[in-house]
Structure 1
Amino acid sequence: MEDIFHLIREGNSLSFRSWVECIDNDFNLVDDHGFSLLHWACWDGHLNIVEILVNKGAKINSLNKCEDTPLHNACQNNHLNVALYLLKNKANINAVNFHGNSPLHYACHYDYQELALNLIQNGALLNKCNKYNQTPIDLCRDEFKEVLIKITQNLNIDLNRIPFRQDSSSRISRQKSKEAYFPTQQNINIDELPVEKMIATNHGGTIWKGYWQENEVSIKVLKIKESSQRIASLFNQESKRLRIFNAANILPVLGTCVSLPDLIIVSPYMNLGSLYSILHVENDLDFELDFNCLVNFANGIARGMDFLHNLEPMLLNFNLNSKHVMIDDDLTPKLNMSDCKFSFSEKVKIFNPAWMAPETLRKKTDDINKKSADMWSFGVILWELFTKKVPFGEFSPMQCGILISRDGLRLELPVNMSVHIQKLIKICMNEESAKRPKFEMILPILEKLKK
């Protein structure tokens, strides 16, 4: 952990790029002060490393222990190019830290005039007070203060003071608790996993909320037909491939615990639950499921699937459906690796046929193009996102499987659905599996759909 922070501080982008491409390495690591790799890259002004981290999906608005965002750190050290890049990638320009200071407060306090002007042009508030009732203008030197006052008069900017208010419900403040460092060990002792409550039970196992190394975790106890040392050995071997820490849209397996007869998977806890529960279970959500939010969900899922499809060898045991997509507090969708099947899992029963391509319900596994089948499943999720309905919810899983595979049952596209979404669903759910696109091909389409 110390080595990678050292690479960041010295700006060694070549070595860092090699490090971040290893799936075992987590680019959202934090140090003892809550500084993430992105915080330090912004602090030191290493734009090339900032670009790598942002493109990988590092949390751009994460908070350190003083509640600084990476944009705060860039502005504290007058790194204009880094600040502009962060803003281009939707950094929160008016985020406030523990002292109530925004990035503009620091630019004005240190007399970084060019930086301050750029922040104002991008929407930074000049009249927002910190904890000490100071606005950015209050912190300026007299000459620059006069310049800013003239600018506000010319642009008719309101200078009525906005009092400091600690917004504890804001999503950005909640990100701080999620930026926790998880040790990289594979095997966990059962005594290290205190359990708080049961979250759910399904065909795959029983899921509990608990704690590990003072972090909230999800603890899944697998349902298995038999328990033996042979099965335990397979479990340990296969679960290693599920520890994927270098992809923003993958929820990794942190570690496993073998306490026969129990086989246990430990993953980061996601407070918002699955995409399925957000769409179909009554929730007191503090965000709107508007068009842009739904497109962002779709885009993140597609990025996660594109990552899995490019693994060598490809991960074949993840079945895409909304129950296997978890939503982080910053609304990042993550494919849940704890939902992957193991070689010793029950193979005969099919539990979620509504999301499965017709050919997967008719053919043997070896005769199926997994990538094409996943694209069909993604098409179902698109339909689910933009109708907010359970696909074939009126049928039991058995009825659904039979009707899809034998009788040609298909989803109907509502007339009020966006024409662009309809076209994309049709492309993804082409009856000829060979004509379905790859995820890398639909990512540009999803980007263009963002409003």
Structure 2
Amino acid sequence: MGDTESCCNIKAISSEWNQNGKQKQKIEVYLKVLSRLRELNVPEIMAPGFEDDLWAHFYRLPTRYALDMNVERAQYVLMHKRLLHIARTPAASTGPAVEVRLVQVVVIYALTNLGNKYFMQVCSASGVTCKSLHSNSQNKVSPQDSDIQGNMMRPMHEITISTNDKPKLLSQLTSLLSETGLDIQEAHAFSTLDGYSLDVFVVGGWAVEETEKLKHVLANKIQKLELKENGSPPLAKLAEQEKIRMNFISRHVIFPTRENGVSTSEASWLRFEKKIASGPFSDLYKGTLCNQDLAIKVLKQESLDENIHREFSQEVYILSKIQHRNVVKFVGACTKPPNLCLVTEYLSGGSMYDLLHKQKTVLALPSLLKVAIDVSEGMKYLHQNDIIHRDLKSANLLIDKTGVVKVADFGVARVRNRSGIMTAETGTYRWMAPEVIEHKPYDHKADVFSFAIVLWELLTRKLPYEHLSPLQAAVGVVQKGLRPKIPRHCHPKLVELLQWCWQQDPSLRPSFSEILEFLLHISKMVCQAVPDEMMNVI
């Protein structure tokens, strides 16, 4: 689980974060699965933010899923995550989210000395633990009371299906499997917080050498089931619905004007070009208006509730009131529920997170200082306008085509709250100030702490506390004063700035005015010491 000095044990996490036993149990299983995946050295663990994604997976499923998980087969969790992702991405031409695999099943049987009554238990090789299937005796029979007992191995098929959760779904899937000629030996049904299902069946009745054929047959039957319920092919129907919605939004986006506040630009409606990202609560599109490239964030209708609507309105209000070179520019919004969207300038350079962690870009010190100064300029402006960002991190810093870095994603932390990666307040654990983690009152100095973590990220191109889970990192920051290790080659003045900004006591941290002045001083020193040809920007 990483460095033993910095790792926090399960008991500390549970006592700090959870008052109920169910959440504690879920966290314990999550940590065990994460540890097992590291032991297995699966490639997925190297992906940025993997621990966050894994915890979000456990969070959206019931505690029963964690308790039924066979930790020794932790890699099955990755298959479950993949199927849920397919189910949540209906626009992709991936077909039904179904997986079929051959498993070895241990059948344990016993014949009692009290008569011809028996019990049988099936232990599958699936990612969930074995369950007692049936017993026609009133009391469970122990092996000690049996005349005959034993076990045998039997090959069976494990079927895992993910789809939209709906009434009578389990009954429909059970009937579908029975109609296929399958004998269901074991079943587990789980519903997610965001309206999807994960159903696992262990079945007999199909030739063991025809696993791929079974998967193909089931995929066709599931697709026909969706066709029967929806009345048209699922992908085609959703594509048509999406097109209708985009046309509506295009006509109802309100654009601020200098003359009279707002106007609808009916002569040149907003055009959607392509979807460039998708999350649990919104989709991000690239679009155009009067030949200007724009980014359009559209909230998903199925995710809307009163809180998200209120938070969206607050985000639109904040962005519409601010304008600065180092803050993403607000263009317009559609505020007619359920068709809510936010339109901003499109920044072709992507995010600092991608630049550092995916493209593995090494920033020379002058370039690094330029980024830090851009961020500080934007944050100074926000704080002067009484705006606390509350989720400052590299993923929320975007780069335009000229290399200017801009602060973006206001309010996104509140929208992502239900994923379980955010606290009841807001923010992301790896960048979060200790006072926010502890649910204490906080002010703009929380952003200063997050800025220090971003600055460290720029220096190292590493994920903060990469060997710890998000929960472990958070508890370490609060209880042990844990901070990322500063590299030896770091400029002494930057070491000084890091230690100043991530002070445990918020009152001891500098303001962004002080940070900016400090950075400009360092930049001046560096410019005098570095030749012109080394002064590269992003």
Query: TM-score, normalising length from structure 1?
Result: 0.52
Distance 1:387 1:301 in 2: 17
Q: What residue number does 1:299 align with?
A: 373
Work out whether 1:327 is the aligned partner of 2:403. Answer: no
Matches within 5 A, 1:4-23: none
Q: What residue number does 1:353 align with?
A: 429
2:331 touches 2:344 (CA, 8 Å); kept in 1?
yes
Work out whether 1:316 is the aligned partner of 2:385. Answer: no
What letter corresponds to residue 358 of structure 1 in structure 2?
P
Number of matched pairs:
262
Call closer, same or farther: CA 1:200–1:189 in 2, change over 3 Å. farther
Call closer, same or farther: CA 1:303–1:339 in 2, change over 3 Å. same
Call closer, same or farther: CA 1:408–1:341 in 2, change over 3 Å. closer
Matches within 5 A, 1:141-290: 184=257, 192-202=269-279, 205-222=282-299, 227=304, 232=309, 235-236=312-313, 238-244=315-321, 246-258=323-335, 260-282=337-359, 289-290=363-364
User: Deviations for 1:261-307, whole angstroms, at most 9, x for unmatched residues?
Assistant: 34211111111111111111127x7xx72111110100110111111
What letter corresponds to residue 373 of structure 2 in structure 1?
N
1:186 touches 1:256 (CA, 8 Å); kept in 2?
no
Distance 1:347 1:315 in 2: 24
User: Deviations for 1:180-237, whole angstroms, at most 9, x for unmatched residues?
Assistant: xx86376778993432222223455322212223211111123577536896576446
1:267 touches 1:338 (CA, 8 Å); kept in 2?
no
Call closer, same or farther: CA 1:363–1:345 in 2, change over 3 Å. closer
Matched residue SS, 1:243: helix
Structure 1 residue 248 displacement after superposition: 1.1
Matches within 5 A, 1:378-417: 378-417=451-490
Structure 1 residue 432 displacement after superposition: 1.6
2:375 touches 2:407 (CA, 8 Å); kept in 1?
yes
Call closer, same or farther: CA 1:187–1:259 in 2, change over 3 Å. farther
Structure 1 residue 420 displacement after superposition: 1.2
Specify which of 497, 500, 503 is matched with residue 427 of structure 1: 500
What letter corresponds to residue 303 of structure 1 in structure 2?
E
What letter corresponds to residue 296 of structure 1 in structure 2?
K
Distance 1:241 1:361 in 2: 24
What letter corresponds to residue 357 of structure 1 in structure 2?
A
Distance 1:202 1:244 in 2: 26
What letter corresponds to residue 304 of structure 1 in structure 2?
G
Call closer, same or farther: CA 1:337–1:230 in 2, change over 3 Å. closer
Matched residue SS, 1:400: helix
Call closer, same or farther: CA 1:229–1:354 in 2, change over 3 Å. closer
1:224 touches 1:345 (CA, 8 Å); kept in 2?
no
Distance 2:347 2:414 in 1: 23
1:228 touches 1:260 (CA, 8 Å); kept in 2?
no
The worse-fitting range, judged by mean Cα deviation, of 342-351 and 354-363 is: 342-351
Q: What residue number does 1:107 align with?
A: none
Matches within 5 A, 1:91-102: none
User: Deviations for 1:45-104, whole angstroms, at most 9, x for unmatched residues?
Assistant: xxxxxxxxxxxxxxxxxxxxxxxxxxxxxxxxxxxxxxxxxxxxxxxxxxxxxxxxxxxx
1:187 touches 1:257 (CA, 8 Å); kept in 2?
no
Distance 1:295 1:269 in 2: 24
Q: What residue number does 2:521 align with?
A: 448
Matched residue SS, 2:464: coil
What letter corresponds to residue 400 of structure 1 in structure 2?
A
Larger Rg: 2
Structure 1 residue 253 displacement after superposition: 2.3
Structure 1 residue 382 displacement after superposition: 0.9
Point out where structure 2 has 5 or more consecutive residues left out of the alignment: 1-254, 528-538
Structure 1 residue 399 displacement after superposition: 3.4
1:231 touches 1:344 (CA, 8 Å); kept in 2?
no
Aligned-residue CA RMSD in angstroms?
3.2
